[in-house]
Amino acid sequence: MQYNAVASNPFAVLTAIVAPAILTNASSVLALGTSNRLGRVVDRTRVVAAELSKLPKDSPERPGWMAQLDHLQVRAQQLLTALRMFYAALGLFAASALVSIGGSVAAYYGLKFAFELTAALAILTGVSAVVALTTGSVVMVHETQLAVRSLGEEAKLRLK
């Protein structure tokens, strides 16, 4: 039977556990970096708000700074979305590793139904984790593009 091959092969079990562990580590590093970026956006929002408070209501510079504030709000929301995705991936990769261990135990004891169930669950959690990680990464790329665009707009504001 197919599940006996997994039970008799320690490398299959090791691979099933190590792959999610490595991806869990990658997810946690991305989450930390994203949290740092979110903190920088919060700091930047405070600076822009301070600049706006110094300008008179009828200042021609005011719309530019208001646009900066709007972009910062969009960036903060994107970073929060990416952070959620990275944390979801982190939890799903950990769940995938745990389910893989359960599947290995089921295979060792010859519990075919339990093995098949845990195999399907491990695939589901693993695929969900990869989708969350990919989604978070795509959102981060978009946020980075917005940050670079905002930097250019701010440079123009300061040069006027």
Largest CA-CA distance found in the chain, in angstroms, rounded:
79
Q: What is residue 24's predicted lDDT score, i.e. its pLDDT?
A: 81
1 pLDDT more than 60: no
Within 55-111, residue ranges assigned H as helices are 62-108
Higher pLDDT, 120 or 5: 120
What band does 4 get if pLDDT is binned at 50, 70 and 90? low
Provide the residue range defining the domain that includes 103.
Answer: 2-159
Mind listing the pLDDT tens digit for each residue in 84-126? 999 999 999 889 889 988 988 898 898 999 999 999 999 999 9
Phi, psi angles (nearest 5°) of residue 134: -65, -45
- Say how many Å lie between the first and final Cα of the chain, rounded: 75
Q: State the amino acid at position 5 in one-letter form.
A: A
Q: What is the mean pLDDT of residues 119-142?
A: 95
Asked whether the beta carbons of 34 and 139 are under 8 A apart, the reply is: no
Domain count, the chain: 1
13 pLDDT more than 80: no
Mind listing the pLDDT tens digit for each residue in 50-89? 989 999 999 998 999 999 999 999 999 999 999 999 999 9
